[in-house]
Amino acid sequence: MKTFDKNGMLIIPTPKEVKKGCESEEILVIKECYCQNGHQLINKKVCFIDFPGILLKAKNKNDNEGFIALSPVYNCQFRVSIDIDLIKGESLQLFCPECGVELPVYADCTCCEGKLITVFLDNTANYNNCITIGNTVGCKNSTIIASKEILDDIRHIITR
């Protein structure tokens, strides 16, 4: 496996085995996502198996700031932190790295005290076309989740 891509950027593999030439295994990759002001969050400076990652600015409870690059592969929890330590169980504030706006909360997390943060799939800030990312380090929801799945989880909790 290559260590660097053609631009000299570090390639970070995902924990899932990538089977080349196997047409039966499909993965879903987010190729575009935006903040509510329409700024692209996909960044070619960080790659996960040759896919550009989602780059977010992050701040912890001690006001330490840095960046988090998330794998764009659906249901993959791989991430890289830059200039900020990630402590399991800690909730982070997430921002657009370009304009600095805090990303909006979609809902409370269904399994911890954290929040599910909205990232839009088009530049119109449409909540019907979004994904969410849990803001708590190590939570099972700290991965890309489709908005329909979140609504199904919320409905399930309400009907209990």
User: For the segment 100-157, what is each residue's pLDDT rounded down to a tens digit?
Assistant: 999 999 988 888 889 999 999 999 998 888 888 889 998 877 666 665 555 455 444 4
Of residues 103, 87, 97, the one with CA closest to residue 138: 87
* Whether the predicted pLDDT of 84 surpasses 90: yes
Quick one: pLDDT at residue 113?
86
Could you give the C-alpha distances from 75 to 6, 69, 133, 152, in angstroms and in order? 27, 15, 10, 16
Helices (H) and strands (E) in the chain, counts: 1, 10
Q: Any idea where the domains of the chain sit in the sequence?
A: 27-158
Q: Tell me the pTM.
A: 0.75
User: For the segment 11-30, what is each residue's pLDDT rounded down to a tens digit?
Assistant: 665 544 444 433 436 778 88
Quick one: pLDDT at residue 146?
64
Which run of H or of E encompasses 46? Answer: strand 42-48
End-to-end CA distance of the chain: 47
**Checking DSSP bridges between strand 105-108 and strand 65-70, what pairing results, if any?**
unpaired
Q: How confident is residue 81, by pLDDT bands cut at 50, 70 and 90?
A: very high
Quick one: pLDDT at residue 34?
97
Q: Residue 129 gets which letter from DSSP?
A: S
**Contact criterion met (CB below 8 Å) for 72 and 93:** no
